[in-house]
Amino acid sequence: MSDRIEFDNVSKFYGEVLGINRVTLSLPPGITSLVGPNGSGKTTLMNLMTGLIQPTKGTLSVMGLQPSQADEFFRMIGYCTQFDSFPRGITGWDFVYDSLMLHGMTQKQASDLTSEALTRVDLGQAAHRQVAGYSKGMRQKVRLAQAIAHHPTVLVLDEPLNGLDPMARAESIALFQELGKQGMHVVISSHILEEVDRISDRVVLMTGGYVIAEGNIHQVRQEVREKPMQILVRCARPELLASRIFELDHCVEARLHADGAGVFLRTQDVDQFYILLNKIVTDGLVQIEAVTPADDDANAIYQYLIGSDGGQS
């Protein structure tokens, strides 16, 4: 059996409105982030891979199974949607417990797993309160608990960090990382790019219903060759380094760091840049403390490829 989530030339149209178009993807286990502005097709992609909607064209499979094989397919998937809605009058406990009972479990099994999931998201104390009285963060957590309660192998999370306070956000991220390390598929869509960047094994960048880049975040950045890469060089005499680099006619932009102890340099050819930098160092012109890519993250790639910050605050 395949261990991948596969999309083969999948398109989805809502009447005449495009959801996604000709998407071909093969996602291995680990944490995958879907990044794109509103209306880019992230939720459509997630709804397709969780079987809530069917493709207009193309085929998809998750771990070798198709949504039509409901008994096995949905047992394998946990989906935390972005809809902040619950059945009326339900408690957190019942919300998770009822979903497990629909799996065909015994009351004991469902009860044990409910308790485990609610404890895992730190909602044990509030379990028997009505969800309507929960804060937004608690509602987000209880949806997450329901998504992970049956121990799925694929966990799909649509904007899972929305509404969480910094502590809860950090805990959730730690949980996602833990699940990813356990060999699980964790597919996350988020606008909080720094966090996506920190936890993702790979990103899928989307806009207008198309996948425009996919892969390891650093590989994706390397592929965006037409955009000069920005590098932060920490050194004692940054203005000297900048002038030397410009003399060699290599950089297209240099900007001093606000603290005066470094310079941001933009280069079209990063490999050649590092060779030159080594030469300057060996010549003894400046003493360099650190060299780090300054735009080798999801946010920068996102801006280069999509041309906006995706609503990031």
Give the footprint of another protein on this chain (CB under 8 A).
14, 47, 50-54, 70-75, 77, 79, 81, 83, 85-90, 94, 98-99, 101-104, 146
Residue whose token pair is 């394998």? 76
Both tokens assigned to 274: 């590092």
Alpha-carbon gap, residue 12 to 34, rounded angstroms: 17
Pick between residue 23 and residue 193 the one whose CB is nearest to another protein. Answer: 23
User: What is the closest distance, in whole angstroms, from the C-beta atom of residue 68 to another protein in the complex?
Assistant: 9
User: What is the closest distance, in whole angstroms, from the C-beta atom of residue 175 to another protein in the complex?
Assistant: 20
Pick between residue 46 and residue 193 the one whose CB is nearest to another protein. Answer: 46
Pick between residue 14 and residue 274 the one whose CB is nearest to another protein. Answer: 14
C-beta of residue 204 within 8 angstroms of C-beta of residue 216: no
The Cβ-side half-sphere exposure at 14, using a 13 Å CA radius, reads 10
User: What is the closest distance, in whole angstroms, from the C-beta atom of residue 50 to another protein in the complex?
Assistant: 6
C-beta of residue 216 within 8 angstroms of C-beta of residue 301: no
Q: Provide the greatest CA pair distance for the chain.
A: 75
Pick between residue 75 and residue 120 the one whose CB is nearest to another protein. Answer: 75
Both tokens assigned to 252: 């297209």
Pick between residue 77 and residue 280 the one whose CB is nearest to another protein. Answer: 77
User: What is the closest distance, in whole angstroms, from the C-beta atom of residue 78 to another protein in the complex?
Assistant: 9
Residues of the chain by 3-state class (helix, strand, coil), percent to 5: 40, 30, 35
User: What is the closest distance, in whole angstroms, from the C-beta atom of residue 101 to another protein in the complex?
Assistant: 4
User: What is the closest distance, in whole angstroms, from the C-beta atom of residue 138 to another protein in the complex?
Assistant: 17
User: What is the closest distance, in whole angstroms, from the C-beta atom of residue 75 to another protein in the complex?
Assistant: 4
Identify the sign of the CA torsion 221, 23, 43, 75. Answer: negative
Pick between residue 39 and residue 293 the one whose CB is nearest to another protein. Answer: 39
Burial class (CB in 10 A: 0-12, 13-18, 19+), 56: middle
Pick between residue 111 and residue 312 the one whose CB is nearest to another protein. Answer: 111
